[in-house]
Structure 1
């Protein structure tokens, strides 16, 4: 067997959202912070992201995480998040997958019934409390970066939809959020094609009409992801959302063929962004749980633990909790004669 590359991974998912974790085979990644390491990887080693996420080794719904040494001495580990079109600064489902892999494989020691650790993400430090029993991580709860709303009740013009009312908020990524019912969209998983079509049209319009940048790191811009939200339908939940991740560029001339994929989980950063909006609207106080359901009916539980500020914006400090499961391990290889070293996308699945 001839190999020009072999990457070792642990396959996991968090409440349904797949989050592959790279545990070996990466080149040295320079940088004085995990954010700088992410920038270096994006500029110099993006072929790894493409190889891991595109066919034949990946699929549109897959996310991937690269374990890297932390730069901050307070952190136990660092990781870089890779998705189909971007390197998000933070992700709840990927954090849960990474913590589950770190502890259940023994990369970091597990202490029962509670393991506490700190992760360095491109967005900053994240404190984690993992509940553990019989060698299994039964819940991952973490203190996220501060979340805040930038625009509330803004009106944008969207191709094929007309005037749409949206919020734009940061929860670790910049989201554009809109209520699904006025758009005539149901949030069932079976309606994924329509959710993606509408979400991608809104994201494209918001990126043009409401561009935003993080006040503490202007290189983080958006909005790059969409959250269509609705009222709760299951007992014990407080809302539900359908989050669309882009898998390719949006073509306004062909909006019905938008490139995107439905997040299988309730999305952790989206839950935090939604909590920031609700708090700004006076609808969610400090200390109250917010149980958010995703398209599969799985849930993440968020809570606002304190108020703060980020630049000019009133902000919240949210926590988020959910569970992850390991479902495989793999060695992904590349033959030097392979005509698709960076993988490929095909229009039947990828838009």
Structure 2
């Protein structure tokens, strides 16, 4: 059995004050919001991308992340964010996304949850009926959560991401189950994308353990080979996750000449975490690939279904270029719901601080 791990398990507590959180989920994927971030990432004068670098270098921030991700307060698939100041007054807030292994550069399901929370909490005023833009700075750039309200309640949120583009196609990756070809695309983070059928598998819960192992192999092999370098910002380099896909049915042709595609996916990100939602930034990467292949055109819709059956509705908001490459700005619509609030405490005599991860 794999041994429990924790970033700072042998250290005394690096903080003893309680940590207040607001709990949400988007499409079944948890999102733990921490309104009061550790001081190391809230100091003035930094961009959100620079705050991510500061977070990775800070013992206190890493300890707090491990406290909130690890058991007994979290679990191996926990996800959340520290709220931080935005880059400038053009955004409502900034977010540092985290998971059990570190800090990610983008998060679509988290952006959807943050938009819903910002409107539901009154942080960003909204009319009872209409759409309100919540602008958020994240490490990969500035994104927008378009929050639609009906009767004073949040109905859904459309996540407008940074431009996504194809990084490489047909990259051969050796694995323990044979060599497979994958495509690599950027959707705020780099993703390797391939049909699950290439491993003789399906996007279904019973195949998840094998998909996790395969996803980790693919990610590690590509990163060891340096296959996903960002053309301008090395902080955005490296494959973050592996997206396994399958078609749920043939495209549906609509009366106006557009099409509706229905695909399933499961995204294995970081070091073997499974996204319960259809994965917002992974969906953005998928939109970039489908747009590049002209399988998804402006006006078409992609129903992107997760391994637990939740669905994002994705489309091309506009075509553009990024780093001299054809790119697509995706619009991904989903729903998020509040699940509670927490006040996590730290007992300085606890010998398992900040926690552990058990697979």
Deviation by residue 1:24-81 (Cα, 9 ceiling, x = unmatched)? 3632523521111111112112111111101111111210111112122200111110
What's the counterpart of residue 281 of structure 1?
293
Misfit runs of 4+, over 3 Å: 233-237
Taking the aligned partners of 2:299 and 2:224, their CA distance within structure 1 comes to 36
What's the counterpart of residue 125 of structure 1?
142
What's the counterpart of residue 165 of structure 1?
181
Preserved contact between residue 223 and residue 238 of structure 2 (Cα < 8 Å): yes
* TM-score (norm: length of structure 1): 0.90
Shift of 1:210: 5.0
What's the counterpart of residue 333 of structure 1?
345
Preserved contact between residue 185 and residue 285 of structure 2 (Cα < 8 Å): yes
Deviation by residue 1:126-151 (Cα, 9 ceiling, x = unmatched)? 12210113442111112100001111
What's the counterpart of residue 76 of structure 2?
60
Preserved contact between residue 26 and residue 335 of structure 2 (Cα < 8 Å): yes
Shift of 1:97: 1.4
1:272–1:25 CA distance, 2 compared to 1 (3 A): closer
CA RMSD of aligned residues (A): 1.9
Preserved contact between residue 156 and residue 209 of structure 1 (Cα < 8 Å): no
Residue segments in structure 2 that go unaligned for 5+ positions in a row = 1-12, 253-259
Among 21, 26, 41, the alignment partner of 2:55 is 41
Shift of 1:156: 2.0
Which residues in structure 2 correspond to 1:140-219 (within 5 Å)? Answer: 140-158=157-175, 160-219=176-235
Task: Indicate yes or no: 2:252 matched with 1:238.
Answer: no
* TM-score (norm: length of structure 2): 0.88
What's the counterpart of residue 8 of structure 2?
none
Preserved contact between residue 7 and residue 26 of structure 1 (Cα < 8 Å): no
Which residues in structure 2 correspond to 1:285-300 (within 5 Å)? Answer: 285-300=297-312
What's the counterpart of residue 154 of structure 2?
137
Shift of 1:180: 0.8
Taking the aligned partners of 1:170 and 1:38, their CA distance within structure 2 comes to 19
Preserved contact between residue 14 and residue 93 of structure 1 (Cα < 8 Å): yes
Deviation by residue 1:231-286 (Cα, 9 ceiling, x = unmatched)? 11599752111101234xxxxxxxxxxxx232101001111101111122221112
Taking the aligned partners of 1:277 and 1:237, their CA distance within structure 2 comes to 14
Deviation by residue 1:153-209 (Cα, 9 ceiling, x = unmatched)? 222222x12210100111011101111112101111232111111211222222223
Preserved contact between residue 215 and residue 310 of structure 1 (Cα < 8 Å): no
Which residues in structure 2 correspond to 1:15-30 (within 5 Å)? Answer: 15-24=27-36, 26-27=38-39, 29=41, 30=43
What's the counterpart of residue 252 of structure 1?
none
Taking the aligned partners of 1:210 and 1:166, their CA distance within structure 2 comes to 15
Taking the aligned partners of 2:126 and 2:345, their CA distance within structure 1 comes to 30
Task: Indicate yes or no: 2:269 matched with 1:262.
Answer: no
Residue segments in structure 1 that go unaligned for 5+ positions in a row = 248-259
Q: How many corresponding residue pairs?
A: 333
Answer with 18-27 or 65-74: which moved more: 18-27
Answer with 25-34 or 95-104: which moved more: 25-34
